[in-house]
Structure 1
Amino acid sequence: MSPHHVDPAHGTTEEVASVFANAPLIPADEMYALAADFNLDQHPNKVNLGPGSYKDENGQPWILPSVAMSRRKIAEQGLCHEYLPILGLPEFRTKVAKLVLGDTGYQVKESKIASGQTISGTGALHMAGLFLKRFSSLSNDVYISDPTWMNHHGVFKSLGFNCLKYRYYDAETKTLAYESIIQTLESATSGERVGCLLLVSSTEEAAKNSQSALESLTRIEFSNPPAYGARIAATILQDKELVAQWHKDLVTMSSRIADMRDALYQSLSKQTEQDWTHIIRQSGMFGFSGLSPVVVRRLRDESHIYMAESSRISIAGLNPGNVEYVASCIVECLQ
């Protein structure tokens, strides 16, 4: 629609409101805005501790050897460019179900499983929410950990759910808020965030019906999922040699992350009398540093170190070349 309307009788032009005039200005996603600011930063010592992607000891993305081997194997076999079925690559869905449930669990539940390949973990959340909204009589409440990713609330709010928070992290003790989590689990339904949506039902009929409903929703949402990533994963999970290499890759990544977690702890402990044991009590790619929002902003503005305002950091963003710098800057900003 043109933004102007011409009146032929009077030769005048008047402005016409755009059909998009009511679209609100939505705040940028925190982590993507943080990444954009980091990319614009020209400081030579800048450090990005925000994204949830693994980096090697040089701060560069690392292609897992198992993934590289899978790509070569797919290329040698000749890549098929046909559309996937609506529910995705069957062998991918089967292998993911076995990985999540275990071989024994899968054998017991196989006839009671409905599954569908989704577009990323966020896509799995969306499809799970859509399925529950359409076909479940459960409560309209969804419990989401606090803190969490910004888009988790958006996914479920967009589907009409009432999003409630439960405390996941105890800022005072800098540990898991275990009692809060248990209380929430005792009073609410919970689920797992996976790249392939799995619905495990109590009967075969319910699984069959759920599978058909999931297929219908998928067809409406995105017709059918992309093939290449699923083929890479399925190729790995179907090949014993590649599975063994994948396990080695996991050890490579987890070991480096553990080393960097310990290095940060050691450096901070040497420079201050503050207790930093919460850093090594935690595990995984992320960690809560326990820093205040004021310190987080100072680190970004003065030291060019980027992290979520909640003080959650990606340990994978640390490496031997920057961990001492990060620790020293934290100490300086705390003084």
Structure 2
Amino acid sequence: MNKTDQGSVTSGQHQAIKAVPVRHPGRWVGVAVIAVLAAMLLHALLTNEAIKWDIVRATLTDPTVVHGIWVTLELTVLSMLMGVVGGVLLAVMRLSSNPVLSGTAWVYIWIFRGTPVLVQLVFWNSIGALWPTLSIGIPFGPSFWSESSNTLIPVFTAALLGLGLNEAAYMAEIVRAGIQSVDEGQTEAAHALGMSKLATMRRIVLPQAMRVIIPPTGNETISMLKTTSLVQVIALVELFTAGHDIYARTFQTIPVLIAVSMYYLLMTSILTVIQYYIERHYARGANRTLPPTPIQRVQAMFAGKSAPKAVPADTEVPSGGSHA
């Protein structure tokens, strides 16, 4: 090869490569269709006189609706607290080697998952028909204290029992799946170090199982927020019941339902954000790089950069690279 050929080869090697981006016409068609549908929906919402946005605004600030929001939040928090605590206890009982404990937990889950929560709400609200009085005393013997069932279990308590005890059955299966996702070698190693079963469960198993437990628990919390609307059947005034009472009196059904839906969307959005940060917290042991927060995603979008992706902890990091 002569010098001329070598020079042409060298110059060819240093020529810039012209990269042709991959075309995605289907994506642009999809974007156009979605944009047209969104514009049509927005136009319908703004021009439809039946919506009556003035009534929507009045409903948003109605004292009955505002009070219903607090009742809904109170029911959601207390019911989920009861469900999580009961679910952990039932899950541990289900996994116990004692057949009595395991069988009792299975029967509880079978009953409360097998009957509608609406039926359970009505049952707890009508418990006085089955047991007019509740007492404390010697089994099959005299009682030391008794009180009317209707006094001990008012409407709010009946709603809390119906929602919380039902949720415990579902949370038991979620927690059981999370516990079983942890390798048994972790438990064996903890026992070899002299840790008790309770300490192993509390300090070794449950912290690792949280990565599996948190996502469905967040979904259950959001579902519980909306399920509280069922307490209307026992005449407890929460958010939906407050809206129902308003449109039953004013016959403005659609505007009132839109206002109520806005509050539900706001509360579920807040719960979704809280769930995201809790999942991110428990992902620290599994990912070398934590998933970006919504603020980091927005900052990266305006900076023209892609947001960093989470890298599993067992992924080999290339030499020369680093992960914060």
Normalised TM-score (structure 2): 0.26
Task: Give 1 or 2 for the bigger CA radius of gyration.
Answer: 2
Normalised TM-score (structure 1): 0.25
The structure with the greater share of residues assigned to strand is 1
The structure with the greater share of residues assigned to helix is 2
